[in-house]
Amino acid sequence: MSEFENPDHWDTTAQYYEKTAHPFTARYAEAAVARVALTPDSRVLDVAAGTGALALTAARTGAQVLATDFSPGMVARIATANLPNVETRVMDGQELALEDGSFDAVFSIFGVIMFPDWRKGLSEMARVTRAGGYGVVATWQDSGAATFLLLGQIRRKLFPERDGITMPEAVKALSDPGDFARELVAAGYHDPQIEHVTHDYALDITALAEPDALFGMSPDWTSLSDAEKATVIAEVRKMAGDRAILPIPSTALIAVAQR
């Protein structure tokens, strides 16, 4: 089992995720929500919700949102928002304990792509989407994004003899829009529309004072020795030069398909 497949890993890193990843992924969540017309009458499901970037964005439309994740630590952080139109449940997205066709829109923002059986995750999304409803899925390009992308680049430069993180299978499988579209159709959706969306992850150089908070989610970081970590930090500072912020352009594919 990889770390990405272990709920304990996400429970442990939830605090880092909420601080560093959530504000960034929220930008893609906003782009995803903008592609579907939600109203206060809409029933929305967020699969593998993390700390709720999508769920909380969708809730601002007034929609009734159910946020699910297999990590109790992640779900607990969404619950602290205490929003009347957001329900949270611990649930495996590969086997949703939900009725067929029970949601108007089903989202997974960088969630289903982490599943061991991501095809089952997609088909479960389609199963619980009502006829005429929408499925929305976001994935990264091959090398990931943000600090994962940066660490991969630095490791290849500093430690070329060492293997880096292995990205989840779905990230590679869905990186091509044509392949992505075919998988959505196979899952039970139709007419998928896929767009590339790029945002800069703004790495605040002052955050390097607490590198575990910045990089702690990545096995590319936790597998390094203290001396190697110091070398990585020095390389980031070198890349930034005199800049207070180091931008890391990160591209996602956002797919919208109809049931």
The full set of domains in the chain, from first to last, is 3-141+164-198+250-258 (3.40.50.150)
Residue 141, pLDDT score: 84
Pull the structure tokens for residue 116: 């061991």
Q: If DSSP codes are grouped into helix, strand and coil, which group holds residue 185?
A: helix
Other C-beta atoms lying within 10 Å of the C-beta of residue 210: 12
pLDDT at 135: 98
DSSP string, 111-138: SGGG-TTHHHHHHHHHHHEEEEEEEEEE
Q: What is the pLDDT of residue 16?
A: 62
- In angstroms, the CA 125 to CA 137 distance is 10
Burial of 117 (0-12, 13-18, 19+ CB in 10 A): middle
Distance CA 134, CA 125 (A): 10
What pLDDT sits at residue 93?
97
- Rounded distance, CA 20 to CA 250, Å? 14
Q: pLDDT (tens digit, 0 to 9) for every residue of the chain, 259 residues total? A: 455 566 555 656 656 677 777 889 999 999 999 999 999 999 999 999 999 999 999 999 999 999 999 999 889 989 999 999 999 999 999 999 999 999 999 999 999 999 999 999 999 999 999 999 999 999 998 778 998 899 999 999 999 988 776 778 999 999 999 999 999 999 999 999 999 999 999 999 999 999 988 887 788 898 899 999 999 999 999 999 999 999 999 999 999 999 9
What pLDDT does residue 163 have? 78
What pTM was estimated for this model as a whole?
0.89
CB 78 within 8 A of CB 59: no
φ and ψ at 114, to 5 degrees? -90, -10
- Written as six digits, the tokens of 3 are 């770390």
Q: What is the largest CA-CA distance in the chain?
A: 55
Return the sign of the alpha-carbon dihedral for residues 234, 236, 241, 242. Answer: negative
Torsion angle (degrees, nearest 10) of CA 114, 147, 23, 213: 100
Cα-trace Rg, the chain = 18
pLDDT, position 1? 46
Sheet bearing 43-46, strands edge to edge: 86-90, 64-69, 43-46, 103-109, 129-140, 245-258, 190-204
